[in-house]
Structure 1
Amino acid sequence: MLRLAGSGTSSREIAVILGVARSTVQDNLKRAAMAGLSWPLPGELTDDALESRLFARAGVKQGQRRRHEPNWAQLSIELKKPGVTLLILWEEYRSVHPDGYGYSRFCELFRGFEQRLSPTMRQEHAAGDKVFVDYSGKRVPIVDRKTGEVREAELFLGVLGASSYTFAEVTWTQTLPDWVGSHVRMFAFFGGVPRLVVPDNLKSGVSRASFYDPEINRSYGMMASHYGVGVLPARPRRPKDKEQTSRCTLLDLLSVN
């Protein structure tokens, strides 16, 4: 790139030759100029030294200590565990590195890492169009005051796509009566019904999961017909299809006053 620029080739032509965006060429040439680099490069300049000079952080002087960079890949894995939030991960990071990033900057850098790692299309939801339903995957312990017996219950979630307005209730099981009953109470809570219900491929709702032609449980289908709503199951192995309920954890619900 420097060689081509040094021979008088325009940034547009360099972009075509190298198969990169023109803005990338301009950015790299600007970095090289700021680092005092030109073609030919010094023979003793190693790749690591070149990268360090080109991509030194803006606003950080040479030799000055930088903030410790978290292992973003590991944090991304940790965040997928039940009950784990960015706030918890940041607090753990700051307990080890007190002079590390502030929370807002930490979140900003993590989101940037996620975008580079797995770019996805943003989903837009119209008001009243869809409600995403699922069980949280984390059971809630219920204590009998008289006997002290602890029994675990299931947490049902219904999240409106456009507003993320959430209905939540606990039931003893994920069986069909509890599944359908939760829908009835959810519609009453919302004061209406959406155009579509998007469930996960739970057996109580979907008899046969399929990427193209899922088979809806008969009783569940009758309930949907009664309320005049459509059922559109999330595609198998497509977590983005039910992203709204996936993001809503028990910890999030308990943190709301």
Structure 2
Amino acid sequence: MITQFGSLMAGKPKRMSQIKQLIRLYQSGSGIKTIARILGMSKNTGRSYLKKMAEGGFNTEELLKQEDPLLEKSFHAGNPAYKADKFEYLKSRLDYYEKELKRTGVTKQLLWQEYIESDPIGYSYPQFNYHLRQQLVSRKGSMVMEHIAGDKLYIDFSGKKLHYIDRSTGELVACEVFVACLPFSDYAFAIAVPSQQTPDFLYALSCCLEAMGGVPKAIVPDNLKAAVIKADKYEPILNQSMEDFANHYGTVVVPARAGGLLAELDPAVAGCG
């Protein structure tokens, strides 16, 4: 039985969020060596969890749907922190609390006060927050993205501007911040430029390539006007200067999809997860 797994797991129990990642990676076809490397656990630990799940004959999809406290109880029986009746009552109201949070002026503190009035022996505020957070996280799709070294360079301007003081006039001058990232290594580059206009943008991008010491196979801009004249899911129109720049450096430009760079890095955002 899966409720007996805990006594057979050596060492400190793993976080249930990590075990869910293990299950998803295994479902996607990843080998135990790859799973262990990605999750930072030993291969033997990974094998133990997978073996016991297989021996128990449990549906992994059902395990993934369980809240962390329930899943932890399944793997590590006898956890006194979990009480079924108390949790079931809170669980029945989580959808309501999630909707209420979207209303102006409604906070988690107010929701907890309402909850504890209806269940005086209910969870403490930190525990209430934990279960509510699990509810919100469960609504978000996720997946493991594989990146290849030197394949793509993601670029954009930061949302907030930086400012500096002109020493001769004392004037506060705003400037834009160009940022770039290689997703395989998480190597990042940033530079401040006067504006987001095409000349400043291309200057920043050329400084980026020079600093990185090479050119990626593809540059992925977040539909900024200096690079993309018209954003479109199927046929985006590039700024000709951007095209000339890419041809000069022997690379291609692949504008991010409609959801922006976040959707490009996480397809679940664009409904492809």
TM-score (norm 2): 0.52
Between the aligned partners of 2:150 and 2:85, the Cα distance in structure 1 is 51
Q: Among 173, 185, 194, which residue is 2:216 paired with? A: 194
| Residue 207 (1) aligns with residue 241 (2) | no
The Cα of 1:114 is off from its aligned counterpart by 5.7
How has the CA–CA distance of structure 1 residues 110 and 190 changed in structure 2, closer, same or farther, with 3 Å as cutoff? farther
Q: Among 86, 90, 94, which residue is 1:52 paired with? A: 86
Secondary structure class of the residue paired with 1:167: strand
Contact persistence 2:222–2:261 (CA under 8 A): no
The Cα of 1:142 is off from its aligned counterpart by 1.2
- Report the more deviating stretch, 116-125 or 135-144: 116-125
The Cα of 1:131 is off from its aligned counterpart by 0.7
Contact persistence 1:134–1:200 (CA under 8 A): yes
- Report the more deviating stretch, 117-126 or 160-169: 117-126
Contact persistence 1:133–1:158 (CA under 8 A): yes
| Residue 135 (1) aligns with residue 135 (2) | no
| Residue 21 (1) aligns with residue 59 (2) | no
Q: Which amino acid letter does the alignment assign opposite residue 234 of structure 1?
A: A
**1:15-40 per-position Cα deviation (integer Å, ceiling 9, x unaligned):** 8xxxx837979x69x88x979xxxxx
The Cα of 1:119 is off from its aligned counterpart by 1.4
| Residue 218 (1) aligns with residue 240 (2) | yes
Q: Which amino acid letter does the alignment assign opposite residue 139 of structure 2?
A: L
Q: Which residue of 2 aligns with 1:147?
A: 169
Q: Which amino acid letter does the alignment assign opposite residue 138 of structure 1?
A: K
Contact persistence 2:154–2:261 (CA under 8 A): no
Q: Which residue of 2 aligns with 1:82?
A: none
The Cα of 1:196 is off from its aligned counterpart by 0.7
Secondary structure class of the residue paired with 2:200: helix
| Residue 117 (1) aligns with residue 169 (2) | no
Contact persistence 1:205–1:217 (CA under 8 A): yes
Query: Gaps (5+ residues) in structure 2?
Result: 1-55, 91-96, 103-123, 267-273
Between the aligned partners of 1:193 and 1:75, the Cα distance in structure 2 is 45
| Residue 168 (1) aligns with residue 198 (2) | no
How has the CA–CA distance of structure 1 residues 223 and 146 changed in structure 2, closer, same or farther, with 3 Å as cutoff? same
How has the CA–CA distance of structure 1 residues 136 and 73 changed in structure 2, closer, same or farther, with 3 Å as cutoff? farther
**1:33-62 per-position Cα deviation (integer Å, ceiling 9, x unaligned):** 979xxxxxxxxxxxxx96316699xxxxxx
Secondary structure class of the residue paired with 1:142: strand
Between the aligned partners of 2:175 and 2:220, the Cα distance in structure 1 is 22
Contact persistence 1:200–1:242 (CA under 8 A): no
**1:71-112 per-position Cα deviation (integer Å, ceiling 9, x unaligned):** 999999xxxxxxxxxxxxxxxxxxxxxx987xxxx9x98985
How has the CA–CA distance of structure 1 residues 238 and 50 changed in structure 2, closer, same or farther, with 3 Å as cutoff? same
Question: What pairs with 1:51-130 in structure 2 (closer than 5 Å)?
Answer: 51-52=85-86, 115-130=137-152
Query: Gaps (5+ residues) in structure 1?
Result: 1-10, 36-48, 57-70, 77-98, 245-257
| Aligned-residue RMSD, C-alpha | 4.2
How has the CA–CA distance of structure 1 residues 73 and 193 changed in structure 2, closer, same or farther, with 3 Å as cutoff? farther
Q: Which amino acid letter does the alignment assign opposite residue 155 of structure 2?
A: V
Number of aligned positions between the proteins:
172
**1:136-195 per-position Cα deviation (integer Å, ceiling 9, x unaligned):** 011001111222111100000011111111110011110010111111111000000111
TM-score (norm 1): 0.55
Q: Which residue of 1 aligns with 2:252?
A: 230
How has the CA–CA distance of structure 1 residues 232 and 116 changed in structure 2, closer, same or farther, with 3 Å as cutoff? same
Secondary structure class of the residue paired with 1:235: coil
Q: Which residue of 2 aligns with 1:43?
A: none
How has the CA–CA distance of structure 1 residues 223 and 73 changed in structure 2, closer, same or farther, with 3 Å as cutoff? farther
